[in-house]
């Protein structure tokens, strides 16, 4: 793996007084605001120039699953994906927080079979499918969930595949001292332009290490994902391969009724978006050569999705027909149990326009 060529990239900001992040999303009932979400967001180019920001982009943020497209780079760049004959489906799943629908689970099971492993080798833990309908179907058929149903099982399958390809032991691949996590951490440092030695760590929901990264550096990783031309050729090629796979298989990245899949089904290669737990969202915008990272302070996905849609529109990242097709994701109608519209989720100032 290439060594990080630069460290401690400083995100340049106009000086400003930040007294808490602004209210960025409002939830209304009738004509009254019922709930308010605060957050921060930043848009940068691959040279770490700030194009736009709301709130404090220096806050340390655990990017959670939003960083999966970067965590997946070693899987492609190392040649592991190609060596095992894996394609768009598996590369998209490596970046996925999937619903645990049959097509996700079956594809990951087939992948593991292809590399000579099975669900027992996954160290991500087990939970019922994220999608309630998939969970209900599984229960109806008398099934119980396995690690295959974990939203992160694709990322874990990619880590196992890379470990096998590098002739590393597979057991314990989630631990920070394992070559697999060291390799992924090195890639995160490279793409974020940041030395991780001194940043806070935690454990992610799927048991791998989690790093708290300034939001601007997460956006920088996305800008480099959007416009990787200045990166080493192998890396740039791997990143483009990942973007193309996600654009080709948006359903594999999330699933039914999910924001990421719906947006990318509409935008194709123009926009790569990825959700993370606790209100994180990122985007890579190849046409504009920009990266976006945002965090809703309180961790609400309903707010981070409205923020992302508003920012995509505001940046001019979408064609007019895409704006129309995705309008219901920016101003989300809320209905009660009788189907009556009772309010909406909408961007507030400063994100409204």
Enumerate binding residues for a second copy (CB under 8 A): 19-20, 27, 29-32, 34-38, 60-62, 123-128, 132, 135-136, 139-140, 150, 200-207, 210, 212, 278-279, 296-300, 303, 336-340, 342-343
Q: Which is nearer to a second copy, 76 or 210 (CB)?
A: 210
Q: Which residue has the tokens 């340390």?
A: 60
Minimum CB separation of residue 217 from a second copy in Å reads 15
The full DSSP string for 31-61 is: TEEEEEEEEEEEEE-TT--EEEEES-TTSEE
Other CB atoms within 10 A of residue 29 CB: 13
Other CB atoms within 10 A of residue 172 CB: 13
Minimum CB separation of residue 242 from a second copy in Å reads 25
The distance from CA 190 to its chain's CA centroid, rounded to whole angstroms, is: 17
Q: Which is nearer to a second copy, 62 or 75 (CB)?
A: 62
Give 338's contacts (C-beta < 8 A, 6+ positions apart). Answer: none
Q: Which is nearer to a second copy, 11 or 124 (CB)?
A: 124
Helix 215-226 / helix 233-248 crossing angle, nearest 10 deg: 90
Minimum CB separation of residue 349 from a second copy in Å reads 14
Helix 320-330 / helix 301-314 crossing angle, nearest 10 deg: 160
What span, in angstroms and rounded, lies between the C-alpha atoms of 285 and 160? 29
Q: Which is nearer to a second copy, 283 or 303 (CB)?
A: 303
What span, in angstroms and rounded, lies between the C-alpha atoms of 330 and 346? 6
Q: Which is nearer to a second copy, 139 or 327 (CB)?
A: 139
Q: Which is nearer to a second copy, 69 or 279 (CB)?
A: 279
Decide: 75 and 81 in contact? Cβ < 8 Å: yes
Distance between terminal CA atoms of the chain? 44
Minimum CB separation of residue 286 from a second copy in Å reads 30
Minimum CB separation of residue 59 from a second copy in Å reads 9
Minimum CB separation of residue 202 from a second copy in Å reads 3
**Nearest partner of 210 among 187, 193, 239, 185, judged by Cα:** 185
Minimum CB separation of residue 133 from a second copy in Å reads 10
Residue 43 exposed, middle or buried by CB count within 10 Å (0-12, 13-18, 19+): buried
Minimum CB separation of residue 236 from a second copy in Å reads 32
Q: Which is nearer to a second copy, 49 or 171 (CB)?
A: 171
Question: Facing residues of 44 across strands?
Answer: 50, 291
Q: Which is nearer to a second copy, 113 or 335 (CB)?
A: 335
């Amino acid at each position: 793996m290439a060594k990080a060529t630069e460290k401690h990239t400083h995100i340049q900001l106009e000086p400003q007084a930040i007294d808490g992040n602004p209210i960025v999303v409002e939830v209304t009932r009738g004509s009254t605001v019922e709930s308010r979400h605060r957050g921060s967001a930043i848009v940068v180019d691959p040279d770490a120039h700030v194009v736009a920001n709301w709130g404090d982009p220096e806050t340390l943020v655990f990017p959670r699953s939003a960083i999966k497209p970067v965590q997946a780079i070693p899987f492609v760049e190392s040649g592991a994906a190609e060596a095992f004959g894996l394609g768009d489906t598996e590369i998209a799943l490596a970046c996925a927080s999937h619903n645990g629908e049959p097509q996700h689970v079956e594809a990951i099971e087939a992948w593991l079979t292809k590399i000579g492993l099975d669900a027992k080798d996954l160290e991500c833990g087990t939970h019922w499918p994220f999608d309630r309908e998939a969970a209900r179907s599984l229960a109806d058929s008398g099934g119980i969930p396995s690690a295959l149903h974990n939203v992160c099982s694709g990322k874990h399958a990619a880590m196992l595949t890379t470990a096998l390809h590098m002739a590393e032991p597979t057991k314990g691949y989630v631990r920070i001292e394992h070559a697999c996590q060291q390799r992924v951490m090195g890639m995160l440092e490279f793409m974020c332009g940041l030395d991780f030695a001194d940043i806070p760590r935690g454990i992610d929901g799927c048991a791998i290490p989690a790093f708290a990264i300034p939001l601007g550096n997460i956006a920088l990783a996305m800008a480099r994902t959007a416009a990787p031309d200045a990166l080493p050729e192998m890396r740039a090629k791997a990143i483009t391969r990942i973007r193309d796979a996600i654009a080709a298989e948006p359903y594999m990245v999330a699933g039914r009724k999910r924001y990421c899949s719906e947006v990318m089904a509409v935008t194709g290669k123009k926009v790569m978006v990825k959700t993370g737990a606790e209100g994180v969202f990122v985007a890579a915008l190849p046409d504009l050569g920009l990266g976006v990272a945002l965090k809703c302070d309180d961790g609400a996905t309903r707010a981070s999705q409205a923020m992302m849609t508003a920012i995509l529109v505001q940046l001019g990242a979408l064609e007019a027909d895409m704006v129309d097709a995705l309008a219901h994701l920016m101003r989300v109608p809320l209905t009660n149990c009788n189907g009556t519209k009772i309010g909406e989720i909408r961007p507030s100032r400063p994100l409204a326009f």
